Structure 1
Amino acid sequence: MKRHFITVMAAALMAVSAPIAQAQEISLGRFFGACENAGVDTKASVGEPCIIQSIINAYSGADNGVTVETLPTDWGNYYDQIKAAYAGGTAPDVHVLHRSRLAEFASLGALADLTGDLAAAGIDTSDWADKALEGVTFDNKVYGVPMDFHANLWHVNMDIMEQAGLVKDGKPVLPSSPEELLAHAKQVKEKTGKDYLTADFAQFPIGVRLVMALVWQQGSNVFSDGEATVNTTEAKAAVETITQLFDNGLANPKLNYADSEKGFLNGDAAILVNGTWVVDSYTAQAANSESALSNYYVADFPTLFSQGATWADSHMWGIPASVKANSPEKYKAALGFLAFLNDSNVDWARTGHMSVRKSVLASAEYAALPHRDEYTGTADIAADAPASENYGAIQDAMNRELQAIWLTGKDVEAALADAEEEIQEQLDN
């Protein structure tokens, strides 16, 4: 299947485009969700879908001769759809992707090499944080414009924590070991009747990212140097740190993304493990007098083992190689859009994501964003698995086996052994 994808993609990259008119229309592929009411005010929108769409609308509505057609897709199916579009020769002129997926697309020659074209487009790569530049670089070439760093955080209902006696000096008291995690969870249940922790354990790989963070906190990883290292004492300890909550009725493993989020916003759990991308949305919810979440706090992922770590990734924007090769004016228009996105980095950071630009990180506007001072330590503990062309398949394998543990009762060691075997096959291929 992969060989077929490579062959068809190669043919698509060589396809000849139709003649180019002076006015340009570029198609844009993204996830983040739809927002039908987004205007062009990038300072007024709230939440990922509307903030990104307002930025797109602002560029499309400017007097630059470029119209942007947004092709929103569902996050869960995005990479299947974008691969199918490349294989069919219908890839959008510019599209979003994660740092963790860059190796897969760049290694196939799908993405345009932007290295020599960014300065002329008005993009100063020296203003990017070192990790941001590293994240868009493959084989010493720049294939994207970074948009953020995003990571898992602990979103906290301070009213529940206060009722449970887990607030000190206005901050939540978070656990520092697996044993303390269980003790805190029992304390919340006994004092409030609420679950301690909720997250999407049954749908998207939020649970995978949680477990991997605990593996990294022990100085281990799920693979490195082409070798899968999943069936380890560290991975078992990480999994059992979470399953102890399920086994004691202190967290629900059957919740998907929407239900776990709904439960937290409805005041059914003290902690939600989710990403930076919801901070401004939850802040807006907490400001609503009718919301059950009225006292909201954002915390760095706590260190339960020997060293700090939380799952992190970044969003970036790339342009297909076929656009650069066959449509110079369209390529110029797409680069102009990437420059506008880069200039709008502080607006995107309003979501809760961390900025990738040094000048934005040092600005008063960025520092004034809600809750920003509560998770400043996240940048220092951000981590992820090594880059791999098969990252998506590896993550899927982990997700299946972990869900088998907490949804079907599969033995932990058996699940980790099966995951290791499947991941090794991916690495060997």
Structure 2
Amino acid sequence: MPPPRPSRRRVLGSLAGAGALGALSAAGCAAPSGVASGKTRLRYWHLFGGGDGVTMAAMLDAYQQSHPDVDLQAATLAWGSPYYTKLAMAGAGGRAPEVAVLHITRLPGFAPGRLLNPFDLDLLAEHGVTEADFPPDLWRRGQAGGKQYAIPLDTHPIVLYFNTEICEQAGLLDADGRLVPTTGPEEFVAAIRAAGEVIGGPGLVVETLGADTVGPWRIFWTLYSQTGATMLSEDGTRMTLDDQKALEVLEFMRMLSDEGLIAPRTDYAASVGLFSSGQGGFFINGEWEVSTFLNNEVPFSMTRLPDIFGSGRVEADCHSFVLPNQTDRGGPGNEAAHEFVAWLLKNSVDWAAGGHVPAYLPTLEKPEYLDMRPQSEYRSVIDDVVLDPPAWFAGSASALEIELGAVFSGVFTGSRSPENALAEAKSRLQDLLDTPNPFGETA
């Protein structure tokens, strides 16, 4: 399961704190500087824990073995708000690590040009990585002011898990054991009902509540995006929410609860437990739980969330590599950072084992990735992922996801009507739009 989510107060407080501390020296944030004689120091900060952390550690070991001339100093920091606060402080002080990981949706809030340095695309190309190797939309989201500040490693979308034994009994699988595709809300609901009849209970499992829950946000943002509507203007400064389409989605979410298709009061841990124990034919969640179900020997597979409201778009984020601001960036350390990023991208088949879809397109064609089941079953979703709106307060572990996740949670649990949820969501979104970016603007 994903790391613990920060509280709303902690999210907003840490954002403000990072802005206030931006002028301070970040010497205390830098990794240890002891470098083996004759080696190039390469400091790398990331937030991967759990199964992701194990996979990343193995990749770093392989990199180090093949690069004995590099002194790799990797640091795993606390996921979410604490990580981003420390990264911002390090960049503000100009004494940051050579390379770090950033959710690409957090880029607008990281004042590219001040807290981050741009990549040298010519240097990256010397190591065999170019713009043509990535989906255009993911590459574009890594840009600011005409420069490239983030290089995508993966995309991690929500997907549809399905219990193969339950779905087979319900007649929902084809001859190859894959889920028969559905289109539109009626067909999807019919499949949920069929699975529910097999188990004698709700056929679909979703996260509906919990401290700082974001599952309801992910589901809303997926379904709303499928309608083709937007939430914010392209520059992230103005609300463009389509009330009619938003209400249609919220009414659908409420119907799932009212008609017993989901358990209305299920936190994240309970949702994973319910599906893992066979108490759900379907499970909507991020693809990162694949290792949990494989380890628990659950009879399951995975596929893209179907077209319910007019397209196959799904909510996602993207782990990306960034170059935190260094006052004197350049030289061997900077070149090592570019080569390091290129090496990890070219070896991202290993990274895909944890469920993430590699953003480096050549990886998607490698036989060892195509043979990886069920991880390769939903790879086509990379062309239909929809990231959070482009605003400083959006992205993973952000105020937007936590604020609106709490609102939409009430639609599932019955504490809010769809109309009330829409009005409250618009009010909270406007409050966020009216709040100045504590990180400052792009240089």
Confirm or deny: 8 A CA contact 1:31 1:78 kept in the other structure. Answer: yes
Aligned residue for 1:366?
A: 369
Aligned residue for 1:387?
A: 390
**Secondary structure at the counterpart of residue 75 of structure 2:** strand
TM-score between the two structures when normalised by the length of structure 2: 0.81
2:262 is the counterpart of 1:251: yes
Aligned residue for 2:273?
A: 262
Confirm or deny: 8 A CA contact 2:158 2:315 kept in the other structure. Answer: yes
Aligned residue for 2:7?
A: none
Q: In structure 1, what residue type is equivalent to 2:22? A: M
Alpha-carbon distance in 1 for matches of 2:226, 2:305:
11
Aligned residue for 2:441?
A: none
Aligned residues: 409
Alpha-carbon distance in 2 for matches of 1:16, 1:193:
54
TM-score between the two structures when normalised by the length of structure 1: 0.83
**Secondary structure at the counterpart of residue 228 of structure 1:** coil
Q: Which has the higher relative contact order, 1 or 2, with Cα contacts under 8 A spaced 6 or more apart?
A: 2
2:22 is the counterpart of 1:9: yes
Alpha-carbon distance in 2 for matches of 1:406, 1:368:
38
Give the deviation of 1:80 after TM superposition. Answer: 4.6
Change beyond 3 A, Cα 1:326–1:361: closer
Aligned residue for 1:305?
A: 309
Alpha-carbon distance in 2 for matches of 1:58, 1:171:
35
2:225 is the counterpart of 1:216: yes
2:357 is the counterpart of 1:354: yes
2:315 is the counterpart of 1:321: no
Alpha-carbon distance in 1 for matches of 2:375, 2:33:
48
**Secondary structure at the counterpart of residue 60 of structure 2:** helix
Alpha-carbon distance in 2 for matches of 1:157, 1:77:
36
Give the deviation of 1:395 after TM superposition. Answer: 2.2
Alpha-carbon distance in 2 for matches of 1:94, 1:154:
33
Change beyond 3 A, Cα 1:25–1:201: farther
Higher mean Cα deviation, 120-129 or 199-208?
A: 120-129
Q: Which whole-Å deviations, capped at 9, do the CAs of 1:124-176 have from their partners, x for residues lacking one?
A: 21452233432322221111332112211101101111222333433324543
Higher mean Cα deviation, 105-114 or 307-316?
A: 105-114
Aligned residue for 2:294?
A: 284
Aligned residue for 1:95?
A: 100
Alpha-carbon distance in 2 for matches of 1:19, 1:314:
30
Alpha-carbon distance in 1 for matches of 2:156, 2:306:
16
How is 1:67-78 mapped onto 2 (pairs within 5 angstroms)? 67-75=72-80, 78=83
Confirm or deny: 8 A CA contact 1:211 1:238 kept in the other structure. Answer: yes
Aligned residue for 2:253?
A: 242
Q: In structure 2, what residue type is equivalent to 1:312? A: A
Q: Which whole-Å deviations, capped at 9, do the CAs of 1:90-126 have from their partners, x for residues lacking one?
A: 7554321111111211446111111356337625214
Alpha-carbon distance in 1 for matches of 2:109, 2:55:
28
Alpha-carbon distance in 1 for matches of 2:401, 2:198:
37
Unaligned runs of 5+ in 1: 35-46
Alpha-carbon distance in 2 for matches of 1:65, 1:377:
36
Alpha-carbon distance in 2 for matches of 1:70, 1:79:
14
Alpha-carbon distance in 2 for matches of 1:127, 1:351:
25
Alpha-carbon distance in 2 for matches of 1:195, 1:78:
37
Change beyond 3 A, Cα 1:329–1:418: same
Q: In structure 2, what residue type is equivalent to 1:8? A: L
Give the deviation of 1:184 after TM superposition. Answer: 3.2
RMSD over aligned Cα, in angstroms? 3.2
Alpha-carbon distance in 1 for matches of 2:239, 2:171:
42
| 2:155 equivalent among 135, 149, 160 | 149
Give the deviation of 1:73 after TM superposition. Answer: 2.0
Alpha-carbon distance in 1 for matches of 2:29, 2:376:
51
Confirm or deny: 8 A CA contact 1:127 1:357 kept in the other structure. Answer: no
| Identity level (%) | 26
| 2:282 equivalent among 271, 280, 285 | 271
Give the deviation of 1:218 after TM superposition. Answer: 1.5
